[in-house]
Chains A and B, each alone.
Chain A
Amino acid sequence: MQKGNPMTNREKYAAAFQTTLMVEEAKLSNLKYQDVSTWDSVGHMALIAALEATFGIELHIDDIIDFSSYAAGQAILAKYSIRMED
């Protein structure tokens, strides 16, 4: 992110993972549920809450259950009109 520019959706998405699960950016792209100790059932709820607050949405229970990886989450957010920039 350049100084003075607003964060992109992709940056916001990554930041939620980094802040909530304390995972380095380099490890995010292949990250799956329970790959790290912080992404357990409690961490999952914290992550979902952070994403809902960041993007101003409320995820359906089926989408919360399907949110099993960093990649899967991007596809799920697209259903809520949250699209990641290329």
Chain B
Amino acid sequence: MTITATLRRSAAAIALLGALCAGAAEAKTLRWSYQGDATTMDPHGLNETFTLGVQSNIYEPLVGYDEKLQLTPLLAEKWENPEPNKWVFHLRRGVKFHNGSDFTADDVIFSWKRSLTEGSDMKGYGAKASEIRKVDDFTIEVLTKSPNPILPREWVFLYIMDEDWSKQNNTTEATNVKNANQGNYANLNANGTGPFMVAERQPDVRTVLKRNPSYWDKGIRTNVDEVVFTPITQPATRVAALLSGEMDVIQPVPVQDWDRLDQAPGVSPLTGAEARAIFIGMDQARDELLYSNVKGKNPFKDIRVREAVVRAVNLDAINKQIMRGAAVPLGSLIPPELNGYDKSFGEPYKPDPDKAKKLLAEAGYPNGFEVSLDCPNDRYVNDEKVCQAVAGMLARVGIKVNLLAQTKGKYFGKVLAQAGYDTSMYLLGWTAASIDAHNSMLNLASCRNKDTQAGLFNLGGYCNPKVDALTEKVGSETDQGKRNAMIKEAWEIVKADYGYLPLHAQPMSWGVRDGVKVVQRADDVLDLRSVVLP
């Protein structure tokens, strides 16, 4: 060996080492904070947007959402609906789980069955199918009890787990509160097909995700190698962490801090309308209101009184004063992002306090009446302030509102079905997980029915059989054009009935370090596939 050869070789080694060091130095870490932690890593553990949103970077469904909440193929490459009661999914080939095992049809069937086990909170999604047949390793047929035009949409949050891994770790059933040791491995550990893998998990303290080097989709934009997620409960501390340069993305930022972030160097607020409708409902079911000074009858059963309530409230003023203009005032319970939205019912009602007074007088309440308004104070953006504003506006037409604002645990414990809808008037927010109008029609606008579970969140008991009939038809109509026409008709009826006082689609508000590019999806989910660090 000559000296030159040795020299050349060492030079090459040094160059290689340099390249490696440079690579290591460029490892990009995203530091991210939210007000709470993902409750569990188990994809069937809790049907809640943030938890599922974090998991969506680790696990994947057959069909997912893109940045605009449109359907995009993930683990299924294509899907079709050859018969009303049958969907066929053609699965992606060559996909591997984080532990290296192959993704096949068996994993899909296993995950579906797991979603129906006792501890699962995804039973409702699993129950959409009556059977899944394996045609071959990469084709499955899903049979449904009744025609289901939106099954791929409804399964966007039904993530696929690895059958072998689950069996090895004794976690073939969903995480359960009752039997701690049975199946709870998946609570803290994960093995999905997504672009990120769980490297460290300390619930409520710190979760570290590492990039999956063998992710099937080489086309995703992100250049993030590592994600350090830290939940910070206190809004002031969270904002301080962003301002001090310790965070790249925080969510949410309190509305009143937007100006501060605007003025601070190096950071800015990122705001947009969320696909969550905020609205006020009125008890139209009872013959006498539980919390009112009107005895012997229920004023909200009178359509004139409901119209008066709706006309008394000025949505633009609420948006300007309380939401800094970042909300989108609504005319129904459907935000514009939802499949089936139409301007005909989406435009807000025109406020008209004088007409409201007249209507009240006609209905026999020339001096108005008193009623209690239930309101959460830590659930939605500025929820208590919105309730105060509504109370103020109603007071001007003579309806004296006694505001009962309390923490979400107490609030939901009072107004929801389990407590027998113990309310006369309430503020609620709703996001349709399927991003489809049918979900809101079924839960909010249908008559309450204990057997079919329709109208479960129709806390005021608004009921119009015509809407019910349309909802049922929409549930099984596979022709999208006809389906949208019926959605439109139903919401126009709700609007003409003054069934609800719709308020707005509330704003999402994130704080982002300058130079970090993120896509703010309208369901408030941060999809790491879209994050680009400078």
| A and B are partners in one complex rather than unrelated chains | no
Q: Residues of A at under 8 Å CB distance from B?
A: none
Q: Residues of B at under 8 Å CB distance from A?
A: none
